[in-house]
A and B are shown apart, each in its own frame.
Chain A
């Protein structure tokens, strides 16, 4: 690739790329996101490659492995262009048929189409699938069209148009003003107005400034940043370059968590290609602006998502947060003014510059503009990544996009904001999703994890789970967080194991208050949220555990008893075989023998549930 040294040359290059691409030509895109990897997309890709080896020369069919499409539940996903036919749950064996029938003959293969869960209707086009219909994929949408390892693809969909506009037609102050006008709020969880942050950083005393992209995404159940970084790294880089120009920074870092090797790789490739083209490095596009980006890997510590801990980690220290009485925009990385933003926040910037703040602020609510990408997971039919305008209700997300609860079970709560957030019960399901509304009900937007829970989820267990996570991930420096999370976890364990007392709820609330007030950083400061919000909305469930030693959701094992229903049991013996502690007596029925009834010895039973899982006749009862 040759180096591009002016905006005009960039447009020329873009035109060259587009001229070689005929939108009428057949193109097969396969989702290469990590979710689909787990479903075996790699084999599907290989199968297509093999089939196309014979056809490519004659028919000019191209194959493209793209970023995450978002509909992870139905992966591997294949879209055939130009018809835009969406095939889901594609197997390697289907490759040949797809090429023969759909690509060459234009026929649709019914069995691979998405089927509407209630009407049974087969849906052909990606955009008609209910999962996608209510979404507004202005940030995430390009994932499906580009190969993240080819910068030409990003250019072909209009990428790197905002950058020359910012560098040549706008002054840094104007860029900041535009971002402020758009009211872009941090998508990492803080919700702080990005434009204000940029301005504070720009105005801070000092010659050297840094910009950082926080890709530590530690909230369990949230993987939006990962898919964005893996699937469209240039959108993030472009945002960073524009931001750096506006702030007056020449050095940037992308801090990616260790558990995302594909993201680390794809960002690295993107940086390299951008550098080769002259979109990064010295004298970008001939503007005189220099900017370099380095990738910094995390080491497996959730606390490093906190800005001061992240900066300490980049400096080569342990990820221990420090007090932020003097903000990081004044004194951050290496004690210099530093602007840190989340992956998704950066990815919004090119859009705002391209289309303008007026356009952008038409989307969303009064206080929360634009869209938000959520990872909709848990007890929901359509698990995946969804991008929706702020202000859409939880009900619409869970039911219209998510397709409701599997097995027709009853909705119980949605957990948002990860370990710093809270559970939102059914009574609030018509809540419009935006920063302030979520905080009002005791949760928070967080980074975008949205975990759906149903009647078979125990809320006390959920609180215990989060507290265990936070206790493990706490850096351990301050008494209030280290001991607070430890003791809250201890109490929650007592409750789930049948040793809860009437004082426990009050003690949890007091510990929660102290941990929030006295802790040094936001990890400790928000750690009690899951416990406190579940106590707020599901107090009766706690009482059941404490007073009656029962778990209504049948999750807390110490409070369960397993029994075999003799009138349903077919004497097949599977349960006894599966039992790891030989607690089930009885003899299987064979052709020769009548068999003996199966019974669980409660004194030996460890409540592992293997018998329940292995029984094919629902003869094992749990209560």
Chain B
């Protein structure tokens, strides 16, 4: 366990914990977009900025990627921190002016106006969708591509995501809800990745419960018998 100070209060955290999770556990509110407990911290959105005083020097840094270290002092609400966070949300809002979630966050953080030319994107480039797909699901269907201000998120060759198993994890984890999942008849579509897959019908209840492609992948990976998914998980239990 490491001991340090956060907003004037002593805190204790296991070694390897990051400052953001320590703060959230302690009930300290720090805005964040690209952080999710299910995946490794990434440090892209720069909203969770805090001041960390270490060896006499103070630095602004993203809380999610800073490890809990013995003896440091963490300040989560100084003027410097708030000023920087405001600029971050203003920049993200300028990038994605129509995202309701971002609009609400900006208002809450005291950003009244956007002083830059408004863009027309909806994706905030937090990377959570790809990170979940790579780290948790293992489908590796989508990725960041290009560099700098041309950076985008999508499937290889900007076509249909051919490795996508339409599990919906990305849809759930997206902080601004821009991916979308639709089900019509026996088809499920992950809208943003243009992926439509036919669903398998349960032998017993007749529900379309999961895409064929996904189930085949699971059987392959876990070496399951051919008829394993002929019954859906609800009916099996």
Interface centre among B80, B91, B146, by most chain A C-beta atoms within 10 angstroms, is B91
Give the CA-CA distance A503 to B115 in the complex, in Å. 10
14 residue pairs bridging A and B, Cβ less than 8 Å apart:
A301-B147, A323-B62, A325-B61, A325-B67, A471-B149, A473-B148, A474-B149, A479-B46, A479-B125, A482-B125, A486-B149, A490-B116, A490-B117, A518-B84
Min CB distance B30 to A, Å, is: 14
Given contacts A323-B65, A479-B92, A483-B94, contact A520 B149 (CB under 8 A): no
Chain B residues lying within 8 Å of A173, measured Cβ to Cβ, are none
- Are B92 and A483 in contact, CB atoms less than 8 angstroms apart? yes
Q: Mark B77-117, 1 if CB is under 8 A from A, else 0.
A: 00010011001100110110000000000000000000111
Q: Is the CB of A472 within 8 A of B148?
A: yes
Q: Which B residue sits closest to A475, measured CB to CB? A: B147
Residues of A within 8 A of B150 (CB): 476
With A476-B147, A518-B46 as known contacts, state yes or no: A511 contacts B65, CB within 8 Å. no
Residues on B facing A (Cβ under 8 Å): 42-47, 49, 60-62, 65-67, 69, 80, 83-84, 87-88, 91-92, 94-95, 115-117, 125, 144, 146-151
Is A539 part of the contact surface with B, judged by Cβ < 8 Å? no
Q: How far is the CB of B13 from chain A (nearest CB, A)?
A: 15
Report B-chain residues with C-beta under 8 Å of the C-beta of A475: 147-148
| Residues of chain A with a CB closer than 8 A to B125's CB | 476, 479, 482
Verify B49–A518 contact, CB threshold 8 A. yes
Asked if A326 contacts B67 (CB within 8 A), the reply is yes
Q: Which of A473, A476, A478, A511 contacts B43 (CB 8 A)?
A: A478
Cα distance, A474 to B94, chains bound together (Å)? 19
How many Å from the CB of B181 to the closest CB on chain A?
27
Give the interface SS of chain A, mostly helix, strand, loop or mixed: helix
| A323 CA to B45 CA, complexed, in Å | 14
Q: Please measure, in the bound complex, the distance between the C-alpha atom of A301 and the C-alpha atom of B125, giving whole angstroms.
A: 20
CA distance in complex: A326, B66 (Å): 9
Known A-B contacts A471-B148, A479-B91, A514-B87; the reply to A323 vs B117 at CB < 8 A is no
The distance in angstroms between the C-alpha atoms of A477 and B69, with both chains bound, is 25
Give A520 to B62 CA distance when docked, in angstroms. Answer: 8
Q: Who on chain B is nearest to A477 by CB? A: B44
Q: Cβ of A109 < 8 Å from any Cβ of B? A: no
Assess whether A476 is in contact with B148, with CB atoms less than 8 Å apart: yes
The answer on a CB contact under 8 Å between A517 and B149 is no
Which of A472, A478, A487, A520 has a CB less than 8 Å from the CB of B94? A487
Q: How far is the CA of A471 from the CA of B149 in the complex (A)?
A: 7
Contacts of B61 in A (CB 8 A): 323, 325
Instruction: Look across to chain B and name the residue whose beta carbon is closest to the beta carbon of A491.
Output: B116
In angstroms, Cα B79 to Cα A71, docked, is 52
Q: A477 vs B147: C-alpha distance in the bound complex, in angstroms?
A: 8
A80 CB to closest chain B CB (Å) equals 49
C-alpha spacing A288/B134, complex, angstroms: 44
With most chain B CB atoms within 10 A of its CB, the pick from A503, A507, A511 is A511
Evaluate whether A518 and B146 lie within 8 angstroms (CB atoms) in the complex, with A326-B67, A478-B46, A479-B44 already known: no
> In the complex the two chains form, is A323's CB within 8 Å of B87's CB?
no
Docked CA distance A322–B65 (Å) = 9
Known contacts A325-B65, A518-B46; A511/B148 CB under 8 A: no
* Complex: chain A residue closest to B124, CB-CB: A479
- Asked if B95 contacts A483 (CB within 8 A), the reply is yes
Q: Decide if A417 is an interface residue (CB 8 Å cutoff).
A: no
A476 with B146: in contact, given A323-B62, A323-B65, A483-B95 (CB under 8 Å)? yes
- Central interface residue in B91, B125, B148, by most chain A CB within 10 Å: B148
- Say yes or no: A474-B148 contact (C-beta < 8 A), given A323-B66, A479-B92, A514-B87: yes
Query: How many angstroms from the CA of A530 to the CA of B44 in the assembled complex?
Result: 24
Interface centre among A503, A507, A514 (most CB of B within 10 A): A514
A511 and B114 CA atoms in complex are apart in Å by: 13
* Complex Cα–Cα for A471 and B151 (A): 11
Q: Which of A308-359 contact B (CB under 8 A)?
A: 322-323, 325-326
A322, A326, A479, A490: which contacts B45 (Cβ < 8 A)?
A479
Known: A326-B67, A511-B87, A518-B88. Is A476-B46 also a contact (CB below 8 A)?
no
Q: A402 contacts which chain B residues (CB < 8 A)?
A: none
Q: Does A623 contact B (CB under 8 A)?
A: no
Q: Which residues of A contact B67 (CB under 8 A)?
A: 325-326
A128 at the interface (CB under 8 A from B): no
Nearest chain B CB to A205's CB is how many angstroms away? 15
Assembly CA distance A485 to B45 (angstroms): 15
B88 near A520 with CB under 8 A, answer: no
Distance A588 CA – B68 CA, assembled complex (angstroms) = 78
Cβ-defined contact, A476 with B149, below 8 A: yes
A472 to B147, CA, bound (A): 7
Restricting to A138-168, which residues have a CB under 8 Å from any CB of B?
none
A511 to B116, CA, bound (A): 11
B60 with A518: CB separation less than 8 A = yes
CA distance A219 to B108 in the complex (A): 41
Residue pair B148, A487 in contact (C-beta under 8 Å): no
B44 touches A478 (CB 8 A): yes
Nearest CB on A from B112, distance (A): 15
Residues of B within 8 A of A487 (CB): 91, 94, 116
Q: Which chain B residues lie closer than 8 Å to A510 at the CB level? A: 87
Bits for A461-485, please: 1 = Cβ < 8 Å to B, else 0: 0000000000111111111101111
Asked whether, in the complex, the Cβ of B91 is within 8 Å of the Cβ of A484, the reply is yes
Q: How far is the CB of A516 from chain B (nearest CB, A)?
A: 9
**Most chain B CB inside 10 Å of its own CB: which residue of A301, A325, A479, A482:** A479
Q: Tell whether, in the assembled complex, residue B115 and residue A514 are in contact, meaning their CB atoms are under 8 Å apart.
A: no
Query: Which residue of the partner chain B has the closest CB to A494?
Result: B117
Q: Chain A's nearest CB lies how many Å from the CB of B54?
A: 9
Closest 3 CB pairs of A and B: A476-B151, A483-B91, A514-B87
Contacts of B49 in A (CB 8 A): 518
Contacts of B149 in A (CB 8 A): 471-472, 474, 476, 482-483, 485-486
Query: Which A502-555 residues have a C-beta within 8 angstroms of B?
Result: 503, 507, 510-511, 514, 517-520
Q: Which of these, B44, B84, B88, B115, contacts A507 with CB under 8 Å?
A: B115
B147 nearest in chain A by CB position: A476
The residue on B at minimum CB distance from A486 is B149
Bound-complex Cα distance A510 to B62 (A) = 19
Closest Cβ–Cβ distance, residue A508 to chain B (whole Å): 11
Residues of B within 8 A of A322 (CB): 43, 65
What residues of chain B lie closer than 8 Å to A301, measured between beta carbons? Answer: 147
Q: Considering the chains assembled together, what is the distance between the CA atoms of A514 and B62 in angstroms? A: 13
Give 1 or 0 for each of A114-130: 1 = CB within 8 Å of chain B CB. Answer: 00000000000000000
User: Given A323-B66, A325-B67, A518-B60, list of 12 further CB < 8 A pairs?
Assistant: A322-B65, A471-B148, A473-B148, A475-B148, A476-B146, A476-B147, A476-B150, A483-B94, A490-B116, A514-B83, A514-B84, A520-B43
Nearest Cβ distance between residue A220 and chain B, in whole angstroms? 16
Complex CA distance for A482 and B92, rounded to whole angstroms: 10
For B85, the closest partner residue in chain A by CB is A518
Known contacts A471-B148, A482-B149, A520-B43, A514 near B88 by CB under 8 Å: yes
Bound together, the chains give a CA A477 to CA B83 distance in angstroms of 21
**Within the assembled complex, what's the spacing in Å between the Cα atoms of A477 and B115?**
22
Nearest residue, chain B, Cβ from A511: B87
Task: Report the separation of the CA atoms of residues A473 and B49 in the bound assembly, to the nearest whole angstrom.
Answer: 24
- Considering the chains assembled together, what is the distance between the CA atoms of A581 and B180 in angstroms? 49
Nearest neighbor of B19 in chain A, beta-carbon distance: A325
- Decide: B95 and A325 in contact? CB cutoff 8 A: no
Complex Cα distance, B67 from A487, in Å, reads 31
Give bound CA distance, A473 to B151, whole Å: 11
Closest to A489 in B: B149
Beta-carbon contact of A325 and B66 below 8 Å = yes
User: Are B88 and A479 touching (Cβ within 8 A)?
Assistant: yes
- With A479-B46, A487-B116, A490-B117 known as contacts, the answer to whether A474 contacts B87 (CB < 8 A) is no
| Contacting residues, chain A, for B45 (C-beta < 8 A) | 478-479
